[in-house]
Amino acid sequence: MPVRWADLFLDYLLLERGLAENTLRAYRRDLDDYLSFLTRTGLGLEAGEAVPSYLRDLQARGCAPATRARRLSCLRRFYRFLASEGLVEADPTAAVPSPRRGLKLPQVLTVAEVDRLLSQPRTSTPTGLRDRAMLELLYATGLRVSELVELKVADVNVTQGYVRCLGKGRRERVVPFGSVAARYLRAYLTEVRPRLVGRRSPYLFVNRRGRPLSRQALWKLIKKYARLAGIVKTISPHVLRHSFATHLLENGADLRTVQELLGHADISTTQIYTHVSAAHLREVYARAHPRA
């Protein structure tokens, strides 16, 4: 029965809440782990000790506070759904406090590191020009990786300098980009993409076989170019998104604007970048002030 209820919950998230496929997979993993724990321990779905015992089990397995907090958030949503459908009477998450999480600042690149990274692709080759256009657009817009690889040609207006994308919860937003990204995008669209797309494809960024570039392929490309650029920081496509937001704030952008550009539903998610900017200011102060 609990497994069937989990399926109903995931169908609800997909059909009524419009959550992205990656988010649904994460919910599925979290719920599968919880239901396996209940089977292993013999605890019922509505047992008062079910969720607290599960959180203690996660801690014993070495899961970080952030992971435990995410799992609890998933379970709160799951039980709220079950209660709304009249499938359970008791909600064992109601009296469970969230695990305390330390503030984990996102990894960001300096402007100089971004310049080095973006200059690595060899634009004299078709795939190199594609990669340069892709990296420039990623840094210019702060798109999520899934948003970038799902872009269609029709979503991009190079002349006016903006992209239209669907973010989390299928929320649409329009994000501008500058002249540098526009220049490489225009070159890619006119000189390279027609040669890569052997058959009609609506997707903007494609591989040598004309198929949409995958998230995994983009991740590998960024790792490769970071290595060539001599960047020793742990890097992923999301690091460019973090860098985009941080550099905007450091240069005077207001938090609400950055929230809109990133597609955050809640400004509290965006506020993490104010801590990054404050850390940057402290570093500059420490280097520059004679009595620091």
* Domain assignments of the chain as residue spans, ordered by start: 2-84, 111-287
Instruction: Choose between 113 and 264: higher pLDDT.
Output: 113
pLDDT above 80: residue 285: no
2-84 has which CATH code? 1.10.150
Look at residue 188 in the predicted model and tell me its pLDDT. 95
Task: Please check whether residue 59 is in contact with residue 51, taking contact to mean a CB–CB distance below 8 angstroms.
Answer: no
- Listed ranges 106-120, 260-274, 276-290; the one with the highest mean pLDDT: 106-120
Look at residue 162 in the predicted model and tell me its pLDDT. 92
Mean pLDDT of 273-288: 59
Share of the chain above pLDDT 90, in %: 35
Task: Please check whether residue 136 is in contact with residue 184, taking contact to mean a CB–CB distance below 8 angstroms.
Answer: yes
Reduce the secondary structure of the chain to three states and give it as a string: CHHHHHHHHHHHHHHCCCCCHHHHHHHHHHHHHHHHHHHHHCCCCCCCCHHHHHHHHHHHCCCCHHHHHHHHHHHHHHHHHHHHCCCCCCCCCCCCCCCCCCCCCCCCCCHHHHHHHHCCCCCCCHHHHHHHHHHHHHHHHCCCHHHHHCCEHHHEECCCCEEEEECHHHCEEEEECCHHHHHHHHHHHHHHHHHHCCCCCCECCECCCCCECCHHHHHHHHHHHHHHCCCCCCCCHHHHHHHHHHHHHHCCCCHHHHHHHHCCCCHHHHCHHHHHHHHHHHHHHHHHCCCC
Catalytic residue among 68, 71, 130, 241: 241
d(CA 105, CA 136): 24
Q: Quick check: is 144 catalytic? A: yes
Q: Quick check: is 273 catalytic? A: yes
d(CA 133, CA 130): 5
Look at residue 130 in the predicted model and tell me its pLDDT. 95
Q: What is the CA radius of gyration of the chain?
A: 22
- Listed ranges 11-15, 111-115, 212-216; the one with the highest mean pLDDT: 111-115
Mean pLDDT of 279-288: 58
- Listed ranges 63-72, 146-155, 242-251; the one with the highest mean pLDDT: 146-155
Residues ≥6 apart with Cβ < 8 Å to 11: none
pLDDT band at 292 (very low <50, low <70, confident <90, very high): very low
Catalytic residue among 80, 238, 275, 280: 238
Q: Quick check: pTM over 0.85?
A: no
Look at residue 256 in the predicted model and tell me its pLDDT. 84
Q: Quick one: tokens of 58?
A: 């996660």
Instruction: Choose between 97 and 177: higher pLDDT.
Output: 177
Catalytic residue among 28, 76, 168, 211: 168
Which has the minimum average pLDDT: 7-11, 58-62, 70-74, 288-292?
Answer: 288-292
Catalytic residue among 264, 280, 282, 285: 264
Residue that has been written with the tokens 């060539």 in this structure = 228
Q: Quick check: is 247 catalytic? A: no
**Tell me: the pLDDT tens digits for 126-160?**
999 999 999 999 999 999 888 999 999 999 999 99
Residues ≥6 apart with Cβ < 8 Å to 41: 53
Look at residue 249 in the predicted model and tell me its pLDDT. 83
Residue that has been written with the tokens 């390279």 in this structure = 192
Q: May I ask the CATH architecture of the domain 111-287?
A: Orthogonal Bundle (1.10)
Looking at every residue in the chain, the average pLDDT score rounds to: 84
Residues ≥6 apart with Cβ < 8 Å to 37: 43, 53, 54, 57
Mean pLDDT of 39-50: 85
Share of the chain above pLDDT 70, in %: 87
Q: Quick check: is 275 catalytic? A: no
Catalytic residue among 130, 132, 144, 193: 144
